[in-house]
Amino acid sequence: MPFTPTVGVCQMNHAMRSGHEVPCHRGLMARIAITGVCGLIGGIVHADLSASNHSLVGIDRPTDERLARGRNVDDSNAPSRLDHACDISQSSIEDLVEMFDGCQYVIHLAADADPSNWQMSMLEVNIEGTWKVIEAAKKASCKRIIIASSGLAQVGLEGRVEPPIGVEHGVSIDSPYGMTKIIGEVLGRSAAKVLEVICVRIGTVIPDDEEHKRRGGRLMATAFLQEDVRRFFRACITSSIDGYLLTAAQSNSPTRFIDLEPGLSVLNWNPVEWD
């Protein structure tokens, strides 16, 4: 991609920890970097992997910037997950390589997630930032990167394609956010020559799972319950893949219209039973 890295200085809240561990899919502890760690999904994933005694490296914007943007403002525990406070789009690849030192896995959740944002910041964070994270993961000799994409990469197919809509049906967007997520998938596929790459079109995650059922409609159809978030990302760390995997990840809502294959089979994960 023709993006020139912009050098930035990151605030490092904790001293760097180093040392390579045995890969997690052998049943042992891994070192895992998580970008966007102070967000809702980042918090769910961080808590679950921490409970399994993995060594985690949390990366996100400085707390005051995150709060000013209205991101996950009610999560008082978010600052405790933050090891490196920085804007990935303004950080150098070398900065990110240092953060990824000793990591076998990178879970890349950081994004400008406002579908209505047409400003340059969307491109800087979601495209240039993703490119930098991928390049840093390669230079740091990471084993695998998990890149968060979105169901909005296919939103334009809804009502045009007979469900379930699968990855084989291609893409159709209605927002610059969806465009940036498709580009992230392409960057991930290209990186699969060097890294193992999982690109996941994530469903709708909200603080209160019960709201999916109360409100119904598309919110319920695209629901990604928090226990399923845990199950899916756990499987991303523990399962073997062959190079590149593109899949959707949602819960088993009775109104779901998105196909969860090939992720269910390849990663050997299953959503919880829908009550």
Q: Domain 15-267 in CATH: superfamily?
A: NAD(P)-binding Rossmann-like Domain (3.40.50.720)
pLDDT score recorded for residue 61? 95
Six-digit token string for 55: 């060594």
pLDDT score recorded for residue 19? 35
pLDDT score recorded for residue 27? 56
Characterize the bridge pairing of strands 11-12 and 244-249: unpaired
Cα torsion 189, 94, 239, 153: sign: negative
- Going by C-alpha positions, the residue among 265, 268, 264 that lies closest to residue 239 is 268
pLDDT score recorded for residue 23? 43
Cβ atoms of 133 and 88 closer than 8 Å: yes
pTM: 0.90
Tens place of pLDDT per residue across the chain (275 aa): 333 322 233 433 333 333 333 345 445 689 999 999 999 999 999 999 999 999 999 999 999 999 988 889 999 999 999 999 999 999 999 999 999 999 999 999 999 988 777 778 889 999 999 999 999 999 999 999 999 999 999 999 999 999 999 999 999 999 899 999 999 999 999 999 999 999 999 999 999 999 999 999 999 999 999 999 999 999 999 999 999 999 999 999 999 999 999 999 999 999 999 98
How far is 31 from 8, CA to CA, in rounded Å? 25
Tally of CB atoms within 10 A around 181: 28
pLDDT score recorded for residue 142? 98
